[in-house]
Amino acid sequence: MWMSSRAADVPGSVFALMDAAKSRARASGLPIIDLSIGSSDQSPPEVVLEALREATRDPLTYRYPLFSDTAPLREAAAAYLLRRFGVRVNPETEVLPLIGAQEGLAHLLLAVTDPGDTLLLPDPGYPPYLGAAAVAGLKTVPLPLLPERGFLPGLDAVPADLQPRALLLNYPNNPTSAVADAAFFAEAAAWCRARSTLLIHDHPYAELTYDNYRAPSALEAGLDGVVELHSLSKTHHMGGFRVGFAAGDAGAVAALARVKGAVDFHPYLGIQRAAALALGLPDEVGRTGATIFQARRDALIPALRAMNWEVQWPQASMYAWARVPGLTDSVSYAVRAAEESGVVISPGRAFGARGEGFVRFALVQPPEVLVKAAGLLAGMEVRERVERE
Ligand SMILES: Cc1ncc(COP(=O)(O)O)c(C=O)c1O
């Protein structure tokens, strides 16, 4: 009775189904290897935790943080963008703290679109994108991310008469782990500017990159008509802290500030202080987690390839996105994998129609556990083949 049509339009999540399968497996006594959720198992750098502990002892942090109180975090974000990407932003007008990138996106869509506007978004993509679009009353048009194109969207294929209000991109990508170079963002920004479309780049994996790869920023293509969402959840293992920032086009940032002004009061000041410190850390301290995820990638990908699963060698993010030979129903496969082998992974279908046939592993366990998980799935495959024959 009290459900608005916009609440009713928020799609249900396959993750609830997976959670139920996990509970059944646990109840049957099976040991569980949970690789389903992309929540870092690492801790933030100790100096960041200490800054937060210190802040909790400072009564000045107990009050509502006003916009002026967010200046140190905005300035740290601006310094980070300059140091890391060579992007210059005005911390007064072109940066805004967020309670995570997910909150930022939902409110940004409310701030820059009107009901009935069109949003182009990746398929497969991070599932809350569809929910945020539904809350804003948007028409969504999926942009297929296909392996043969390196999981980059083909903007040329978008019909010329479509007038999208916004294009949403995310590289390094969840769930495919694909990356995009600066030339791609320059093309995407030019494509958007030619259509008066806002380019929104969701960038929570900016520092979770491996080997010598460094992810570019969409803001390198200029701030005009571009907004980027940054997060400390993955890059500094601060998912539970709920902190990030938006940066880019001053008009869009002002609209976002207006909507957020009606909704929240910025993150707790202690968390802002911790985040500002984290953004200024040198790579040797700030990027330690990336090496850990890299070692996990190095263990899991060869194990999956040995099973003849098609999987690219990720340069970033915290996922392996694998096409399982002959798979047509990833949801029932993932449920079986949980119930029969105790390995909990995400079905590709959960990320969109183009995710069917794939499964996603979150690299949130040590290398030997990942290899064990691959072995358990290989064993299940063999058992199923024997049963069929
Ligand atoms: C693509 C993408 N965007 C946003 C988020 C959420 O980020 P935050 O914790 O900053 O809200 C995630 C988390 O998995 C993600 O994968």
What pLDDT is recorded for position 197? 97
What is the count of structural domains for the chain? 2
> Does residue 203 register a pLDDT over 90?
yes
Are 11 and 77 contained in the same domain? no
Q: What residues have CB less than 8 Å from 207, skipping those under 6 apart?
A: 215, 234, 235, 236, 286, 287, 290
Are 84 and 165 contained in the same domain? yes
Q: Could you tell me the pLDDT band of residue 8, with boundaries at 50, 70 and 90?
A: very high
Distance 316 CA to ligand 1 centre (A): 14
In angstroms, rounded to a whole number, what is the distance separating the alpha carbons of residues 170 and 167?
10
Distance 138 CA to ligand 1 centre (A): 20
Distance 356 CA to ligand 1 centre (A): 21
From atom 5 of ligand 1, which residue's Cα is the shortest distance away? 102
How does pLDDT run across 314-345, given as a tens digit for each residue? 999 999 999 999 999 999 999 999 999 999 99
Supply the mean pLDDT for the chain. Answer: 95
Q: What residues have CB less than 8 Å from 377, skipping those under 6 apart?
A: 307, 337, 341, 343
Domain that holds residue 130: 46-285
CATH (domain of 369): 3.90.1150.10
> Does residue 311 register a pLDDT over 90?
yes
> Does residue 103 register a pLDDT over 80?
yes
> Does residue 214 register a pLDDT over 90?
yes
Task: Give the position, in ligand 1's atom list, of the atom nearest the Cα of 102.
Answer: 11
CATH (domain of 279): 3.40.640.10
How does pLDDT run across 254-270, given as a tens digit for each residue? 999 999 999 999 999 99
Last residue of a domain, one of 229, 252, 285: 285
What pLDDT is recorded for position 289? 83
Note the residue count of the chain: 389
Question: 178 — alpha (psi -120 to 50), left (phi > 0) or beta?
Answer: beta
Question: CA angle at residue 69 from 63 to 74, to 5 degrees?
Answer: 140
Q: Could you tell me the pLDDT band of residue 389, with boundaries at 50, 70 and 90?
A: confident
Are 132 and 65 contained in the same domain? yes
Are 59 and 86 contained in the same domain? yes
Are 84 and 190 contained in the same domain? yes
What pLDDT is recorded for position 285? 74
Are 113 and 231 contained in the same domain? yes
Average pLDDT over residues 135-142: 97
Are 50 and 196 contained in the same domain? yes
In angstroms, rounded to a whole number, what is the distance separating the alpha carbons of residues 65 and 54?
17
Are 50 and 164 contained in the same domain? yes
> Does residue 309's CB lie within 6 angstroms of at least one atom of ligand 1?
no
Are 129 and 220 contained in the same domain? yes
Average pLDDT over residues 107-119: 98
Last residue of a domain, one of 243, 267, 285: 285
In angstroms, rounded to a whole number, what is the distance separating the alpha carbons of residues 258 and 277?
27
Are 194 and 160 contained in the same domain? yes
What pLDDT is recorded for position 1? 85
Average pLDDT over residues 146-161: 94
> Does residue 122's CB lie within 6 angstroms of at least one atom of ligand 1?
no
Distance 383 CA to ligand 1 centre (A): 36
Are 154 and 211 contained in the same domain? yes
Last residue of a domain, one of 243, 264, 285: 285
Task: Give the position, in ligand 1's atom list, of the atom nearest the Cα of 317.
Answer: 16
Distance 204 CA to ligand 1 centre (A): 6
